[in-house]
Structure formats: C-alpha cells, structure tokens
Amino acid sequence: MGNAELHSIHVHPVKAFRGQAPRDAVVEPWGLAGDRRWALIDDGGKVVTQRQQPRLAQAAAELVPGGVRLSAPGRASLSVPVPDPTTADRATLDLFGDKVEAVLAGAAAHVWCSEYLGSETRLVHMDDPATRRPVDPEHGRPGETVSFADGYPLLLTTLASLDALNSLIAQGDRAHEGPLPMNRFRPNVVVAGTTAWAEDDWTRVTIGEVAFRVAKMCGRCVVTTTDQDTAERGREPLRTLGRHRRFGSQLIFGQNLVPESTGIVRVGDPVTVVS
C-alpha cells in the first residue's frame, strides 16, 4: 500500500448541510478546522439532521471570515457571524443522547433555516470544542473531544471500497440506484491507492505528518440513502451493505478517526498505515 494518498478533503461547516472540498485543512484535536462546529436544533433542543430533514442535503454552508454563509435553492444566501459566547444566549442540545452546551446564532439565522425547512429550527455554534463534548468513552480516551460530528473527529473512506460497493450494488435488485457517489457517506478524508476494504484492518495511520488512531468502524444510517443533489431517498446502499457489510448490528462503510497529533493535511499527502 505504499502509494496510498489523500484524494480529497471535505469540511461540513454546518452539520447535515453540504460542505466544501478544500485542498488542505488544519487538523485540530476534535476534527478538521471548521468542520461541524454549527448545527440545527428543533424546538425541543434535538439536533436536526438529514435523517429527519432530507432537504438539508441541498442547503450549503461555506466558511467565511468571522462566520458561515448559508445558501439553498430558492433562497437568498445569508452570512451568519460566529456568536459572541460572552453575550449570546446559550442552549443545551441533545445530540444522540449527549447533552451539549452551545451558543445560539442571531435571529436572522433561525428565520432563514426555519423558513427553508418549514419547521421551527435554531442554528447553534460550538464555542469551545476542547471542553463541550467528549468522544464516546467506549472507543475514546480521557480528554478526547469532538465537534457536532456524529461521534468522532474525522471519518475516513477509500475510493477502492466505494468501487467495490458499487460493483455489489450493480449485481443486486436495485442496480438502477447505482453507482453511488462518495458524498452519500459524508467523509472528511478520502484515500486513493488502497485495496477494497483494506481500512477494516487499520488501527493507526498517518496522513502527511499528522497521526490518527482508528477508533471504530462507521455504522451507516438512512442518510446514505439520500441523494445529496436532489434530497430524494432510495434503498441503496443500506440494502447492499446489509447483505455484504454487516458487522454485528451495524452496516459498515468507512472508519472513524481520532487525531493523535495536529497539523495540516493536503490533497496528495501520502497515507501510511502504521499498524
């Protein structure tokens, strides 16, 4: 696997929104800089994702100086400044059972998001990712924290595994739904130059100069069945993952990473399996 390299980088400034694909990114202890530091919550404080609102696939979030710019079909874009944690209202939200403190964005952001989705939502920002939310202790270590990502700082996928999955989909009874693009899986780092499913066996990797621990395999949910361009849902890839990639109760595609060091990763960086 000597020629494996970082094929692409993906940063999603607002959880569940479309993200960006920069050529390089800063790796912080809790994930890529700017990744999933914002999220939507409903009127009960629960985080809103594409699970409940597939239309979020068509909304985009772009990092801009001092904040984030939101855009969506049929709506004027809106720039939202990072709220001042010393003066802005705060909220305690529920993210898959984790209680996480966050800072509320300004009223204009709530109106924009609520009107787009047709339901009452508020936009929140994680002001201090070093303290707000620990990684799941079952697979994390003391002091490790994470942004509003589902559970871990980064998600890694490989092109070879996507090719293999698409080959399996093509052989199945929902072949017309494939081939699927990588954006269905919303990874942070995509690796080229491996064999299919090689990442199943990794425990530590380096990307360029930055070291990562592989925390656990990534179990997949209904979001992967959502076309990220149209917001329409199908049956794949969960149908095929259920037949070929079931590990215990989970359907697996990709690996969750925790940074062991910080630095910058760049497209084209060598990816080395340490163990």
In terms of Cα–Cα distance, which of 162, 211, 215 is closest to 186? 162
Q: For the segment 14-42, what is each residue's pLDDT rounded down to a tens digit?
A: 999 999 999 999 999 999 999 999 999 99
The 8-class DSSP code of residue 22 comes to -
Q: Which residues contact 26 (CB under 8 A, 6 or more apart)?
A: 32, 33, 262, 263, 264
CB 238 within 8 Å of CB 185 = no
Residue identified by tokens 């809103």 is 48
Q: In the chain, what is the greatest distance between 2 CA atoms, to the nearest angstrom?
A: 57
Q: For the segment 109-129, what is each residue's pLDDT rounded down to a tens digit?
A: 999 999 999 999 999 999 999
**Res 82 pLDDT > 70:** yes
Q: How far is CA 211 from CA 203, 221, 261, in A?
A: 11, 28, 6
Q: For the segment 162-207, what is each residue's pLDDT rounded down to a tens digit?
A: 999 999 999 999 999 999 999 999 999 999 999 999 999 999 999 9
Instruction: Please return the burial class of 23, using the count of CB atoms within 10 Å of its CB with bins 0-12, 13-18 and 19+.
Output: exposed
In terms of Cα–Cα distance, which of 57, 68, 172 is closest to 116? 57
Query: Model confidence at 1, in pLDDT bands (50, 70, 90)?
Result: low
- pLDDT, residue 158, reads 98
Q: Where are the beta strands (DSSP E) in 83-176?
A: 90-95, 98-104, 121-125, 154-158
pTM: 0.97
Length of the chain (residues): 275
Mean of per-residue pLDDT scores for the chain: 97
- pLDDT, residue 146, reads 98
At position 172, the amino acid (one-letter code) is G
Q: How far is CA 130 from CA 36, 46, 239, in A?
A: 14, 21, 38
